[in-house]
Amino acid sequence: MATVKVVDVISKAQTLLKDATGVRWPVLELQGWLNDAYREIVIFRPDSNAKTGTYACVAGPRQQITSTFAAATQLLDVVRNVASSATKSPVKLITRQTLDDMDRSWYGNTGAVTIERYAFDPRLPREFLVYPPAAVGAQLEIIYSSVPAAHTLTEIQLADPATAEVIRIDDSFGNVLIDYVMYRAYSKDAEVSANSARAVAHYQAFQNGLGIKGQSEAAAQPGAA
């Protein structure tokens, strides 16, 4: 649950930048970089904005989660059947190769409302296959990652300490959000060698704060647990 206010993130960045009045880095610019930070964090840590929801299947084996959740960036898990006429049973992960070896013609099998297995390919993070192929009316509880909605506070609101809007992800990401805003701010003046070095340092702090070890995306993919 987030409790850190957007204005506090902006204010801390201004303090570090020694630009409390927003002369060099206007508050709307800082807010824009905060929104950019969300998009970058979700790339490296898909679990940072994990959501659950009911996905309405289309007929056939291939499903695309953006048909129900437009802001979704990656499937994280398929939990269970939830259609009123389904068995409410869990759905288990399986590889596509295993399904193909079991039944080479399974893609054309008769559709069902109760799904037994799903297959995921990290090259297509918003899609998955279901077995048996889905019939119209099949519904699944899924866990997915999505990009948080952008903040659209006005300059007056951003300058008011009483503005209550909070960040879109957990408070534990508060420091990495500030580091990303600082990275973008100093990158604006990267022609000054000192600021270029500061930008690099803040981006490294941003990465370290996220715990990026080169396999961060794989850690959140279905079947990684």
Domain boundaries, the chain: 6-46+149-219, 48-146
Q: How many CB atoms lie within 10 A of CB 217?
A: 17
More confident residue, 1 or 102: 102
Between the two ends of the chain, the Cα-to-Cα distance in Å is 23
Over residues 131-176, the pLDDT tens digits come to: 999 999 999 999 999 999 999 999 999 999 999 999 999 998 999 9
Task: Give yes or no for residue 100 having a pLDDT over 80.
Answer: yes
pLDDT given for residue 217 in this prediction: 46
d(CA 201, CA 220): 26
State pTM to two decimals. Answer: 0.82
